[in-house]
Amino acid sequence: MLATNPFAALSASIAPAVMQGYVVLMIVLVAAGTIFDIVHKGSARYFFDNWRRSKAKGTTPLGGGELVSIAAKTAVVDVLASGEFCNARRRVAHLLTMYGFILYVIATAIMVFKYPSPATPTPDIWPHLWWLGGVMVLIGGYWFWFFIRVDVAAEGNSPFRVVRADLFVLSLLASVTLGLIWAYVQANGSAWSHIWFSLYIIATTVLFGSVPWSKFAHMFFKPAAAFEKRVSNANGTRANLPGPADQPEKFGRARELPQHY
């Protein structure tokens, strides 16, 4: 089962060209949704406005080499290692989900486009990576959902409480969970495989089609925001901002305690 390409087995009932067309459509939905999100929320304009203000207020000019160094540090620390998370459990859960999703998507694309049918035997590595990526997503995603979310861990709310901001993580977990269930029942010759596959397609379409209303597009904005923050720190822009409230002696008169204290 773990060495079987589930999409090649599916080619007996669905033409490979249809599967490939669906994957292309999902890519188009992500691109279109991200562009819509940028235009609707003004994310790009906000970023470039901040960038211009940072350059204007900066006290230390940065050269091309320094910008390249900052970009490399941003890629390694903030993107690849998710350095923005101070909480170790949250970072581990995020890394498991992120790298699992990358493995899962890459393996899916290769199996669908390069090995779409039994006529082109699939090397074992790709189904293995597909399953590994899927399991990583489920471990990281469900760990986050049931134990790490702030409103669950800190506020004591029910883990089944759902708001619109949860659309991305829920659709991601639904898509991967149903995909693995479908692959399992198909490998075992179950008559229910087509039902599971239909549910898998519905969840996957919601995942990639809901980009304008979910946090999916944030993965493209966060590296830019992290880079801008590092540039602001390096050129002295942030040094001109007011200091933290817990150090009043450095930044003006200390705040008095309330009279009823």
Is residue 131 in a domain? Answer: yes
Regarding pTM above 0.85, the answer is no
Question: What is the structure's pLDDT at 255?
Answer: 41
Is residue 98 in a domain? Answer: yes
Q: Are 226 and 78 in contact, with CB atoms under 8 Å apart?
A: yes
Percent of the residues in the chain that have a pLDDT greater than 90, as a whole number: 44
Residue 75: pLDDT band with limits 50, 70, 90: confident
Alpha-carbon span 183 to 209, nearest angstrom:
23
Alpha-carbon span 114 to 24, nearest angstrom:
14
- pLDDT at residue 51 is higher than 80: no
Q: What is the mean pLDDT of residues 43-60?
A: 66
Tokens at residue 168, please? 């991305």
Is residue 238 in a domain? Answer: no
Is residue 259 in a domain? Answer: no
DSSP 134-194: HHHHHHHHHHIIIII-HHHHTT---TT---GGGHHHHHHHHHHHHHHHHHHHHHTT-TTHH
- pLDDT at residue 184 is higher than 70: yes
Is residue 59 in a domain? Answer: no
Q: How many CA atoms lie within 13 A of 192 on its CB side?
A: 8
Is residue 241 in a domain? Answer: no
Domain count, the chain: 1
Rounded to the nearest 10 degrees, what angle do helices 125-143 and 88-113 cross at? 150
Is residue 75 in a domain? Answer: no
Q: What is the mean pLDDT of residues 61-78?
A: 78
CATH code, domain carrying 210? 1.20.950
* Average pLDDT over all residues of the chain: 81
Q: How many CA atoms lie within 13 A of 250 on its CB side?
A: 7
Domain span at residue 132 reads 6-43+87-232
Residue 152: pLDDT band with limits 50, 70, 90: low
Alpha-carbon span 85 to 106, nearest angstrom:
25
Is residue 142 in a domain? Answer: yes
Q: What is the mean pLDDT of residues 52-70?
A: 72
